[in-house]
Structure 1
Amino acid sequence: MLFLKSKAKTLDVANYTVIVPSICVGNAAQLACDLLIASKKLKRIGSLSHPALIPVYGPSAYQHEPDERVSSCELYESAEDKLLVIQFRAPLIARHTKSFQINLVELLQAARRVIVLSGSFGFERRVIEESPWAYRASDNFKAAHAAQLGNASLVKWKEHTGEHIFGGGNALQLFNAFEEKQVPVMLLFRYLLEGDNSTDASLIVRELNELCEDFLQLRDGGDGGFKLTVPKSWNLLFGNEVTELLF
């Protein structure tokens, strides 16, 4: 399953924060991971292979690593920040998803904490005035981040208690799998609609940074803000332009 560029047989994630996107509505979580990888110039350290992953192969998605190639599932790392981001380039094959989740949890169960990012259909937000953000956190994650989760500025986050996240892909199943193995885990998702979800991706990263700035390290300069870098792969986010030969 694991193919590292270093040829190592194991992945050392002790004391690491791992961010995993769920393949969700509008691909918002994957786009958010794109922004993280490009903005922090994370290094590709390897890839994952599994029957659940549709095989794809293509050119580099990021301008800071122009000679790299992309596949169905890749690993990007900042060794300095102890940050590992997993990125998916293809949907999962349903009948193999559970097996993939089991293997993924086994691979990452030594991590300090895991963040699962996702999205849900906007029309599932029953009360329009409610927050567009929802989260779920394991007890050990809540204990480790009690100050941040109790911050008054995060009152806008609603704790999700339901059994489904419609449009959220396998986010809830991933969360439950990590929780069962006692891995500190949080699931964060935003209610959104299909279409151009690049703005939603930016909002997800900014919202996550509000809680997790200690390990995301996205602050830039002395003004307390940060700048996100748009990856070059977004130039063709909706495919090539329509050729004039059609008309």
Structure 2
Amino acid sequence: MKYLTYVEDVSKDLSGYTLISPSVSVGNVGQLAVDLLLHNLRCQRLGTFGHPSLQPVVGTLPDSDADGQTHLMTAMEAYVCEEKKLLVIQIRAPISPKGRLSLLAELVQWAAERGLKRVLQLASCHAAARPDPAAPRLCHVTVAGDDVDALTALAPPQPEIPRPEGDAHRPPPYLPGAGFVPDLYRACEAAKFPYTCLLRHTYEGNNIPEAVDICNCLDSWLGLLDESQKSRPDPYSVLGRWRMPPTWSHLFGPAPDASLY
């Protein structure tokens, strides 16, 4: 039985598009990277997903349009960038373990039925779990069938992480802190659907730099930013050539009351 629902513009042809999705992982790096993509690529909202395993979230979302309007946001939404042929999903709530496999399998099936060509996941992983502290912090994991030759020079394949004792029963890949990356990996593998995950090793904290790293890698690989954006980087900002999304206006909450000091 299918539980995944999707309300959308049914006339939209998504053939040949790449589906980009974050994982709710350590430091929320994938979700921050998706925020950067949505704002800088001027993605248009296309639809919203619903599933019993999605924890309910609803609220107002600041719009990047000049009219300054706000829009209703939900736990899982889809946006489209027609110029780059991208379908970008933002997930704003954890996915419950009960029903997670069903959601991901149905999402992959939906992507295949709509003619999308690959799934590209953005995520993070606990840096302390790296087998070699000197290894690159940005790596990739892929399912056979996806063309990642150009990506390998930017983000090498993720090395195997040693498993703790008593955890050998779980199927690969083992990626502590990466959220549902292993589950989506296996869902795409079972469906023989091309899949690649860009994985940034990190710690909890201000994870904006890690999100920028992922987006810079995506831009070098897929050519996302136009020349006008690339020619005006800000050398004094960690964002570089990326513009800060309005959704980050309250990222860390208000500053401490000065009277406390």
Identity %: 28
> Are residue 21 (structure 1) and residue 22 (structure 2) matched?
yes
Give 1:170's match in structure 2, choosing from 169, 174, 180. Answer: 180
Residue 242 of structure 1 and its aligned partner are, at CA, apart by 4.4
- Pick closer, same or farther for the CA change 1:130–1:180 going to 2, 3 Å: same
Residue 77 of structure 2 aligns to a residue whose secondary structure is: strand
Partner of 1:199: 209
- Pick closer, same or farther for the CA change 1:92–1:243 going to 2, 3 Å: farther
How many residue pairs match? The answer is 235
- Pick closer, same or farther for the CA change 1:225–1:139 going to 2, 3 Å: farther
Residue 122 of structure 1 and its aligned partner are, at CA, apart by 1.0
Partner of 1:179: 189
Partner of 1:100: 103
- Pick closer, same or farther for the CA change 1:181–1:127 going to 2, 3 Å: same
Residue 139 of structure 1 and its aligned partner are, at CA, apart by 2.0
Partner of 1:53: 54
Summarize deviations over 1:172-206 as a string: whole Å, max 9, x none.
Answer: 21022112212211111010000110111011110
1:56-205 equivalences in 2 (<5 Å): 56-64=57-65, 66-109=69-112, 110-142=115-147, 145-146=148-149, 148-149=150-151, 153-154=153-154, 157-161=156-160, 163=172, 164-205=174-215
- Pick closer, same or farther for the CA change 1:193–1:46 going to 2, 3 Å: same
Question: Which shifted more, 32-41 or 50-59?
Answer: 50-59
> Are residue 3 (structure 1) and residue 7 (structure 2) matched?
yes
Normalised TM-score (structure 2): 0.82
- Pick closer, same or farther for the CA change 1:54–1:11 going to 2, 3 Å: farther
List alignment gaps of at least 5 residues for structure 1: none
Summarize deviations over 1:36-64 as a string: whole Å, max 9, x none.
Answer: 00001100111001111111111124423
Residue 80 of structure 1 and its aligned partner are, at CA, apart by 2.7
Alignment root-mean-square deviation, CA: 2.4
Greater helix share, 1 or 2?
1
Partner of 2:243: 229
- Provide the rounded CA distance (Å) in 2 between the counterparts of 1:99 and 1:185: 18
Contact 1:39-1:229 within 8 A present in 2 as well: yes
- Provide the rounded CA distance (Å) in 2 between the counterparts of 1:31 and 1:180: 29
> Are residue 219 (structure 1) and residue 226 (structure 2) matched?
yes
Residue 213 of structure 2 aligns to a residue whose secondary structure is: helix
Contact 1:47-1:75 within 8 A present in 2 as well: yes
Contact 2:57-2:75 within 8 A present in 1 as well: yes
Residue 218 of structure 1 and its aligned partner are, at CA, apart by 1.1
Residue 99 of structure 1 and its aligned partner are, at CA, apart by 1.3
- Pick closer, same or farther for the CA change 1:236–1:158 going to 2, 3 Å: same
